[in-house]
Amino acid sequence: MSLRTDAVRVGVRLEVVTVLWMAVEAVLAIGAGVVARSVLLTAFGFDSVIELISGGTLLWRLSSEARGAGSERMESVERRATRISAVLLVLLCAYVVFVGVAGLVARLQPEGSALGVGVAAAKDLIMPLLAWRKRSANLVIGSPALRADIAETITCAYLAAATLVGAGLNLIAGWWWAEYLAALVLLVFIAMETREAIESARE
């Protein structure tokens, strides 16, 4: 077995873990956000949906290589994934801005969510480990799409940290406005991720 073949198989396993985790996380975070009327948690959950789509596409790309598919087909998959991610990220930014401003104007006070805090804390532990393993595999594979996926995974850790702080302060101290501040921090990271995705899509 060649070093590249082994790295691709490791990448496939890592993307399977990513897809499974993101599916569970999206359901829990969006569910917790809806119940608590939290813009922060629902945005966090929708970002997980984007990561799920990205991870699924990367799984397709790596699985195709593992099965011996040609480079032309894999490049087509990578381009398609980048465009889809860019569109979804733009929609997510619009959601955070519109719903966040509307919530502040209406003084909609989200309730504390222990489930949301727990999901964010778990993600803060899992994402850095996944990013490190993916980076090690990509040193051999050299995939631009996987490199972008690694960047999104790292961004996810920052998003989780912001969510943990905002939702945690609301749960512990009842500072509901902290969720809106955290949502603004979330928006900064998502906007950076969106700009990179749009630039990659144009290329």
The angle subtended at Cα 136 by Cα 130 and Cα 138, nearest 5°, is: 100
pLDDT (tens digit, 9 = 90+) per residue, 22-79? 999 999 999 999 999 888 888 888 888 888 887 887 888 788 877 876 667 767 776 7
Residue 70: per-residue pLDDT: 67
Looking up tokens 């699924």 gives: 56
Residue 120: per-residue pLDDT: 92
Residue 69: per-residue pLDDT: 66
Residue 201: per-residue pLDDT: 67
Residue 1: per-residue pLDDT: 53
Q: Exposure string (b/e) for 91-130, b if CB count within 10 Å is 16 or more? A: ebbebbeeebeebeeeeeebebbebbbebbbbbbebbeeb
Q: Which long-range contacts (CB under 8 A, 24 or more apart) does 23-30 make?
A: 23/52, 25/119, 25/122, 25/123, 26/52, 28/115, 28/119, 29/116, 29/119, 29/120
Looking up tokens 């595999």 gives: 137
Residue 32: per-residue pLDDT: 93
Domain residue ranges in the chain: 3-202
Residue 53: per-residue pLDDT: 83
Residue 39: per-residue pLDDT: 81
How would you write the pLDDT of the chain (203 residues) with one tens digit per residue?
578 888 888 888 999 999 999 999 999 999 999 999 888 888 888 888 888 887 887 888 788 877 876 667 767 776 776 677 677 777 777 777 777 777 777 777 888 999 999 999 999 999 999 989 999 988 888 877 777 778 778 877 887 888 899 899 999 998 988 888 887 877 787 787 778 777 766 76
Residue 183: per-residue pLDDT: 79
Tokens found for residue 199: 């630039």
Tokens found for residue 30: 């969006």
